[in-house]
Structure formats: C-alpha cells, structure tokens
Chain A
Amino acid sequence: EAEVAQSPRYKITEKSQAVAFWCDPISGHATLYWYRQILGQGPELLVQFQDESVVDDSQLPKDRFSAERLKGVDSTLKIQPAELGDSAMYLCASSFAVGRNNEQFFGPGTRLTVL
C-alpha cells in the first residue's frame, strides 16, 4: 500500500540553525499539506500545495519558514533560523485532488527538537 514518506524522522538542532524536512506524497496525489503538531495539540496547517502552486500559506511564519514543491511532486519545508518554539512534529499529508474533501493521508512525521 502506497504511503507518504518523510525524512528525517528525527532532527535535533540548535537555535539559529537552519533545518529542512522532505516529503514524498503518494504517487498521483496533486495536493500536498504541511502541518505542525505541538505536543498535546492537533495538527495545524502551515501550507497547502496544489501541484507546484501554493493554495494556502496563511499560517506559515514566512519570516523564517519556507516551502517549495518545484516539480509538483516532492516537497521541502525549511526553517531558518530555528527557534526554541519550533520544537514540534512536522507532518506531511497528501490527497488525490483539490476541492472535493478527499481523504488526507499522513506521513510518519519529522520530530524536531530545538535546543
């Protein structure tokens, strides 16, 4: 069964350093999402892509976070510089199409710890 892949699974970094996370959605899924999940809370959408275009990045802290999906397939989320408050699980999800409330399939996540 196809799954969303993410790497790395765990990342420890010091504040002010740069970090990057990678996501490979299920083949054929046009929509890709990045969520941040703080311990004890539900996932919060950071950015949504439809193919290579950003559909929603209203909750993305653009002064330090950036995301790209250059060829409309895999995606990278970057934080520069990392801050202590960025410690969280970063989840990637994908769905088949936009505008039809299709099921979102989640990856295993990257757990970021900022020291």
Chain B
Amino acid sequence: GENVEQHPSTLSVQEGDSAVIKCTYSDSASNYFPWYKQELGKRPQLIIDIRSNVGEKKDQRIAVTLNKTAKHFSLHITETQPEDSAVYFCAASPLNTDKLIFGTGTRLQVFP
C-alpha cells in the first residue's frame, strides 16, 4: 500500500524567511496530494492541494510542487509569519480512492 514520508520533523525559521517541507510517496498511481495545517489544539485544515496532472500550484504565500517521476512533493511558504507556526501534514490519495495516507507531520516554528 501507499506510504508517505515527511521531512523535516521540526523546522524553525525567522519571520520573513521561507520554509520548505518535503514528502515522498511510494505508490506511483496516487493522484491527489493535499496539505493540512494543524494549530495546537485545533482541527486539521486544508491549506492547499495538487493533483497529479499539475506540476505546481500557488496560493498567495504558499505553493506546492509535484515531481511525479521522483514521487515527491513539497510545500513552500514564503515570507513566513508567526501565525504560520503549526504542524503541517502532507498526504497522498491512492488512485480510485478517497483515502488519505498522511505523513508524520512537520512542526514549524516561526520566530519574530
């Protein structure tokens, strides 16, 4: 079955710097890759997603890139702000399912 690995497990950046979180997946047939943000004590919320027919997607300060050949995708946050501090999870959805296989999460801390 699908397996998703996520790195790094923790990431500390200065406010205004960029942050990059990387994930790899094992099932080449997976076709949907969402990113969720989970603030302390709160529910996970979708922040951006990408489908396998697209290489890059951007929404204001966040962007996601997908490399199907290498089976990895990355989250890029530019001009980080303290409110970006949270745990970020990547996920992959195997073909013809709605199942999400999550990575282990990255705790991002943005210092003012």
Contacts and interface: CB of A to CB of B under 8 A. Distances in A.
Contacts, number: 57
A104 B97 contact: no
Interface string A53-78: 00110000000000000000000000
Interface residues of B, number: 26
B42 A108 contact: yes
Interface string B28-56: 00011010100000111110010100000
B100 to A, nearest CB: 7
A41 B105 contact: yes
B73 interface: no
Most chain-A CB neighbours within 10 Å: which of B42, B43, B97?
Answer: B43
A31 B105 CA distance: 24
A90 interface: no
Interface of A: 4, 31, 40-45, 48, 55-56, 91, 95, 98-109
